[in-house]
Structure 1
Amino acid sequence: MGTAAELDAAGITGPGLRAAYAASRALHARHGRTYYLATRVLPAARRPAIHALYGFARWVDDIVDDIEPRRTNAQRLAVLDAVEDDLRTALRSGAARRPVIRALADTAGRYAIPAEYFTAFTASMRADLTVTEYASYEELRGYMYGSAAVIGLQVLPVLGTVVPRAEAAPHAAALGEAFQLTNFLRDVAEDLERGRVYLPADVLSAHGAGRELLEHCRRTRVQDRRVRAALAELVRINREVYGRAEPGCAMLSPVSRPCVTTALRLYRGILDAIEAADYDVWVRRHRVPRSRRAAVALPALARALAARATG
C-alpha cells in the first residue's frame, strides 16, 4: 500500500499536510529500515503517525550528526534552537515552517501526545553536541530516556492498548531503551568516529577497558579480550532490558502487537549477530540477514491480517 492510500485511511486531507506526512515517511524508510519494515504490518490508518514520529526523530538526529559536516557545533545548536521554536509553535497552533514538524504536530494533536516527550528528546539530541561519554550506565540511562524511551511513549497512543496506558508505559519506555542500547553496541566504531562513546565507562573499566582501548580497536580493526568482555556484559544487560519490554507486547491493541513483536525480534536479532561474531564490532556493521527478516515479518503480517479480520 502506497503513501496516498495510507493517508486516505488515516483521514489526512489537504495537500500541504499530506506532503508533510509523505516527507516523514521517506525519512523513516531511509533511516529506520528495521522498524520501518515492522510498520508494514500495522493497519494503514496508523502508519502515517508512526512515520511522523520516527521521521522527526531521524531528522533531528541528522542535525546533530554528520549529514552536514561543514557545520560547527555552534551552528548545529542554532539549528536545534530554530527547530525547538518551530516545534513549540506547532504544538500550540499546528502551524509550522518545516514539513516534518507540521506532520509531528498533527500527530501529537490527534493522539494527545504530551509535549514534554518531545522536549526530552530534543534535550538529549542537544547533549550529543557537548557530551562525548558517560561515566555510568545510570548516567547513560538518563540520556536514553530522552533519546529513545520517550519515543516508545510517543508511539504508545498510536498503537493502542488493552490495558490502561499507564500500565503499558514502562514496557514501551524499556523497548525504546533496548533498541537504543542495541544501536550503541552495533555502532561503537561509527560513534567513535564522531567523537562519542556510548558504552558506559564503569562497565568498560570493570573489565580493564576504556576509551583509549576502544580507539585502538577501531584503528586496528582488531578485537581485544577486555573490550570483548565489556561488550558481552552490555549485551547481557541489553537482553535484560528486552526482557522488561517484552510483556508490554501483550498489552497492545491486537492489530498492533505483530508490528512491535516483529521490531523487537528483529532488533534483538542484531545482538545474536554480535554474539555470533564473538562480539567483534570492528570489522563490519552487524545486521539481521534478509532471510531472517522475511522469516519474522511474513508470519507477523499473517497475524496482523487475522487480527484485523476479527477486530
Structure 2
Amino acid sequence: MADAAIAHVSELLRQGDKDRFLCDLFVPAEKRPHIMALHAFALEIARVREVVSEPMPGEIRLQWWRDAIEGHGHGNVAQHPVGGLLLEALDRFDLPRQPLLDLIEARSFDLYDDPMGSVAELEGYGAATVGPTLALPALALDRGIAGADLDPVSQSGGIAYATAGLLRAIPLHASRGQVYMPLDVLERHGTDPALLLAGKTDERLRAALKEMATLARSHLSLALDAARRLPAGVVPALLPLALVTPYLDRFERAGCDPFSPKVDLPQWRRQWTLWRSARRGFA
C-alpha cells in the first residue's frame, strides 16, 4: 500500500464522511486502511450525483467502478487511490464482490429525480447502499462470521442508518429536486412531495416523517439484537449503528422538522457516543 493512497483515503473520509472516519479510528491499525477504503468507495459512489450535471456521465462513472470490481477495469485501476486499496482489501480478506455491485446498482437511483415509491423500495435501497459498508468491514475483522449471522445486522442496520441519514438529508435532496421519503407513507398521511420540495412542513408531513423515524428505530432494534450475538472483535465495523438513536432523538426533539437547525448533532456528542459504544459494545 502506498502511503499517499492511504493518506488520500483517510482525508477523503475525514472531509466527506466524518462519521465513518471517526468510526474507523477504532479499527485495529493493521486493518484500518483497507476498511477505510471500503468506506471511501461507498462515499465515491454516493457523491456521483454531486459531481455530474446529468445522469449519463453519472452512469459512466458507476460503470467504471463496476468494471473495476469485476476485474475489467479501464486504465490502471490499481493506481487509483481508492480503487487500488479497495481491490487490495477484497483480495486480502477474500471478501465477496457482489454486495459492492449491488451497492452501485442501488445508487443509480440517485442520478434521477424519480421519487421513492414505497417503504419496501426504501428498505431495499438502505440494505443495498449501507448494508455492505457494515458487512464487509465486519468480515474483514473476522472472516469466520457466518453470513446468516451477519445478514440481519447488515440488512436491518443498513435500513436504519440509511433512513436516519435520509431524514437528515431532506434539505439537501429537496434542493436537488429529489424525494427519498416513500410516496405511500406521504399519501397515507394526506401529504405529498411538493411540500418537501418547497422546503416547508406541516403537521401531516411531520407525522409522515415521524413514521419513518419509527421505522428506523424498529430496524435498529433488530440489527442490535443480532449484533449482540456476534464476536466482540467486529464491534468497530458496526459502530455507525451507535449513531442512529442519537440522530433520531435529535430529529424528533426538533419536531420532526428536517429544516430545523436543531436536527444537527454536535461532533463532540458523536465522538462520545462512538467511544462509549467501542468500549461497551451494543449491550
Question: What TM-score do you get using the length of structure 1 for normalisation?
Answer: 0.81
Matched residue count: 279
Task: Kindly indicate whether the alpha-carbon contact (under 8 Å) linking 2:138 and 2:237 is maintained by their aligned counterparts in 1.
Answer: no
Distance 2:5 2:34 in 1: 11
Q: Which residue of 1 aligns with 2:273?
A: 296
The one-letter code matched in structure 2 to 1:61 is A
Distance 1:62 1:255 in 2: 30
SS of the aligned residue for 2:228 comes to helix
1:1-311 counterparts in 2 under 5 A? 13=1, 15=2, 18-63=3-48, 65-66=49-50, 68=51, 71-89=53-71, 96-130=78-112, 132-160=114-142, 164-216=146-198, 218=199, 222-257=200-235, 259=236, 262-284=239-261, 286-300=263-277, 302=279
Distance 2:99 2:277 in 1: 29
The one-letter code matched in structure 2 to 1:100 is V
RMSD: 2.4
Larger Rg: 1
Distance 1:294 1:86 in 2: 34
Distance 2:173 2:77 in 1: 35
Q: Which range moves more in the overlay, 29-38 or 184-193? A: 29-38
Distance 1:80 1:58 in 2: 12
Question: What TM-score do you get using the length of structure 2 for normalisation?
Answer: 0.88
Q: Which residue of 2 aligns with 1:3?
A: none
Distance 1:241 1:39 in 2: 23
Deviation at 1:302, TM superposition (A): 4.8
- Residue by residue over 1:79-113, the C-alpha shift from the partner in whole angstroms, topping out at 9 and shown as x without a partner, is 2223322332279xx95352211111110111121
Distance 2:262 2:136 in 1: 28
1:271 to 1:300, Cα distance in 2 relative to 1, 3 A: closer
SS of the aligned residue for 1:166 comes to helix
Distance 1:301 1:135 in 2: 37
1:170 to 1:297, Cα distance in 2 relative to 1, 3 A: closer
SS of the aligned residue for 2:233 comes to coil
The one-letter code matched in structure 2 to 1:43 is P
Distance 1:187 1:277 in 2: 14
Distance 1:143 1:291 in 2: 30
Distance 1:115 1:179 in 2: 22
Task: Kindly indicate whether the alpha-carbon contact (under 8 Å) linking 1:162 and 1:252 is maintained by their aligned counterparts in 2.
Answer: no
The one-letter code matched in structure 1 to 2:68 is D
Distance 1:163 1:73 in 2: 38
Q: Structure 1 unaligned segments of length 5 or more: list them.
A: 1-12, 305-311
Task: Kindly indicate whether the alpha-carbon contact (under 8 Å) linking 2:113 and 2:179 is maintained by their aligned counterparts in 1.
Answer: no
Q: Which residue of 2 aligns with 1:9?
A: none
Distance 2:208 2:93 in 1: 41
Deviation at 1:241, TM superposition (A): 0.7
1:193 to 1:207, Cα distance in 2 relative to 1, 3 A: same
Identity of aligned residues (%): 25
Q: Which range moves more in the overlay, 130-139 or 248-257? A: 248-257
Distance 1:126 1:297 in 2: 31
Q: Structure 2 unaligned segments of length 5 or more: list them.
A: none
